[in-house]
Amino acid sequence: MEDPQKTRIIPVGIVAGIAAVLVAVGAGLTWWTLTSRSPQEPVISSPTTTSPSPLPSPSQTVEKTVAIYWVKDTNGKQIIVSQPVQIQAQNDPTAFLTVAFDQLLTSSPDTNQFSEIPKGTTIQKLTTNNDDVYIDLSAEFTQGGGSASMIGRLGQVVYTATTLNPNSKVWISVGGQPLTVLGGEGLEIPQPITRPIFEKEFSR
C-alpha cells in the first residue's frame, strides 16, 4: 500500500512550480510590453485646424486704396473723374473718408483735371453711420462760380464721400445747416444725395 503523503506532495509541488512559472512569465510579459511599447507609442493629436486671420480692429492702422474725384473738361462738358490714392488710417470708414477729403481739399490733381471746390473750404465734421455719410463743409464751399461750377463741386463731394461704398447716402451741410440750395441760381440739392441721384439730376 502506497504512502498517501507521498502521493499528495508531488502534485502540490508541481502545481506550485507551475504557478510560480506562470506568475514569473506573466510579470515578464507585462514588463516587456510596457518597456517595449511605451517609448514607441505614437502621439495621437487632434487634427489641426487653420484659424481664419483675425480682422483688423478699428484702432489698428491699415492701408487702403480709395479714390478722390476731380473735374475734367471734355468737349465743353465737365465730367467727374477719379484718382486712386493710397491712404493709411485707422480701420474705420470715418477715418478713411476724413483723410480722403483732406487730400481732395489740399492736393493738386493730374494734368487736365481741376477742382471746382473753392480754396479755403474745409471739413467741419465728417461721420458715418452704416451706409450713411454725413459731411459738414465750411461756408467757402458755396462761394463763387456758376451752375457748372456748383455741379462740379457737388459731384466731387458726392463721389469722394461714396468711394468706400458707391451705394452710400450722403447728407451734406454747410456751417451746420443742411445744404438744400447751392449757388445764386438756386441749385436744389436733394437730401440725402446718392450717385444715381446726382447722375439723374445733374449729369446732362
pLDDT at 52: 54
pLDDT at 18: 47
pLDDT at 58: 57
Q: Indicate the Cα dihedral angle 157, 159, 162, 164, nearest 10°.
A: -120
pLDDT at 101: 97
How far, in Å, are 17, 18, 26, 27, 31 from residue 22 at the CA level? 9, 6, 6, 8, 14
How far, in Å, are 9, 26, 141, 174 from residue 119 at the CA level? 123, 98, 8, 15
Q: Is 106 exposed, middle or buried (0-12, 13-18, 19+ CB in 10 A)?
A: exposed
pLDDT at 61: 86
- For the chain, which residues score pLDDT lower than 70? 1-59, 204
How far is it, in rounded angstroms, from Cα 21 to Cα 23? Answer: 5
pLDDT at 189: 95
Q: What does the pLDDT look like over 80-123, one tens digit per residue? A: 999 999 998 888 999 999 999 999 999 988 888 999 999 999 99
How far is it, in rounded angstroms, from Cα 21 to Cα 91? Answer: 77
pLDDT at 2: 47
How far is it, in rounded angstroms, from Cα 106 to Cα 100? Answer: 10
